[in-house]
Amino acid sequence: MEEHKLSVGQYDILINHDWQELLRFIEHLQPSKIGVLVDDNTERDCWPILSALNHSQNWTLIRIPPGEVHKNLDTCQFIWTRMMELGFDRHSLLLNLGGGVIGDMGGFCAATFKRGIPFIQIPTTLLSQVDASIGGKLGIDFADLKNSIGLFRDPELVFIHTGFLATLPARELRSGFSEMIKHALIAEQSLWATLQQLEDLQQVNWSELLPGALAVKRRVVESDPFEKGLRKILNFGHTIGHAIESYLLQGKDPALHGEAIAAGMICESWLSCELGLLNEAQLQEIRQYIDRIYPKLDLSAEVLPELIQYMQQDKKNQGGHIQFALLEGIGSAAYDQVVEQEDILKSLHYYLEHS
Ligand SMILES: NC(=O)c1ccc[n+]([C@@H]2O[C@H](COP(=O)([O-])OP(=O)(O)OC[C@H]3O[C@@H](n4cnc5c(N)ncnc54)[C@H](O)[C@@H]3O)[C@@H](O)[C@H]2O)c1
């Protein structure tokens, strides 16, 4: 597998580097204690790879149950309590071994414990490798709202090993792929062309594809680390997608993050077209591509107004207006686009009727 290295601000992202480099990096930090945050699945499938490394005997596992439903304050309390019990001080290190839930929540717990201890992201899902582990956004869900409590803090290092994806369930792989689609649509037309050639996600050579998709996020995040401007384009698909995700999280059949974002991207492409930023042929191209990969979500027309209520809580809103990042053609995006509620509803109807 080919090695790649990208730097973002003060930290590096190493893709498929030798594990010894991770060990050397940790040694250089001279941590007083090392904890490894895992969920049941990453303990089973990913931890054996790390624990086989020589130096890991003194690493202590902190286990939490898997899934977005546990990305909350109760789980944080559990993690902070474990760190207290283990005698963590400000020189202790937390390794977040898992997907976006582990990375966001483990990073949040580390960044707030004793005013902040160092942490390393070791992302194990496609979603976290291509998106969540980069850019310093950490947080948890609160009061039924996605990522409503959190902060920005950079990790010491992001260590990506695409071999972890071998055990990832196909549905999770497909979910993560939606953030790659988003990166292509907002900023990299050539990546969009490449993605369209892919026949079967199970056969993709991720170590080849990941660096290009990551470079898009790196470029955007570096130019605007605290989301004052350009970084908002990364929210394409997320204003409506997060509302759908939050709503379905309350029911019996929650959607995975990337599945909700895929639906959100169809709705927000429709809005882009409605505002004259995208043409009809481009809208069709995007919708047909996403429909080919993702199943239609279980939403009925009656619940659509409820989704607007979720959007009214969106972190990006200003002065009571719901703000969007929308496509300006394929491969470019505009942010701070205010859209009327009536059009948001129409975009959701478009999804229900055409996808
Ligand atoms: N911080 C950011 O910038 C950012 C960006 C995008 C998404 N996110 C967040 O990321 C989260 C979604 O991340 P996710 O999709 O990785 O979810 P996740 O962390 O819940 O992981 C998905 C599932 O895969 C399992 N898993 C993880 N790695 C595995 C492996 N290698 N083999 C087998 N099973 C494995 C997990 O246990 C879990 O059941 C959301 O909470 C979202 O808000 C954050």
pLDDT in tens, 243-282: 999 999 888 889 999 999 999 999 999 999 999 999 999 9
**Ligand 1 touching residue 154 (CB < 6 A):** no
- Among protein residues, the one whose CA lies closest to atom 25 of ligand 1: 41
* pLDDT at 316 (0 to 100): 76
**Ligand 1 touching residue 249 (CB < 6 A):** no
**Ligand 1 touching residue 104 (CB < 6 A):** yes
Ligand 1 atom with the smallest distance to the CA of 137 is 1
The answer for residues whose C-beta is within 8 angstroms of residue 350's C-beta and 6 or more apart is 266, 267, 270
Pocket test for ligand 1, best of 172, 183, 226 (most atoms within 8 A of CB): 172
CA nearest 258: which of 185, 192, 169, 178? Answer: 178
Ligand 1 mean position, distance from CA 128 (Å): 6
* pLDDT at 249 (0 to 100): 87
* pLDDT at 319 (0 to 100): 78
* pLDDT at 141 (0 to 100): 93
DSSP letter for 321, please.
Answer: B
Distances (CA, A) of 72 to 29, 105, 242: 29, 8, 16
Ligand 1 mean position, distance from CA 309 (Å): 26
The token pair that represents 43 in the structure block = 């303990």
Handedness of CA 239, 202, 172, 301 (dihedral sign): positive
**Ligand 1 touching residue 45 (CB < 6 A):** yes
* pLDDT at 58 (0 to 100): 85
* pLDDT at 54 (0 to 100): 67
**Ligand 1 touching residue 175 (CB < 6 A):** yes
* pLDDT at 168 (0 to 100): 97
**Ligand 1 touching residue 42 (CB < 6 A):** yes
Segments of the chain scoring below 50 in pLDDT: none
Pocket test for ligand 1, best of 69, 128, 162 (most atoms within 8 A of CB): 128
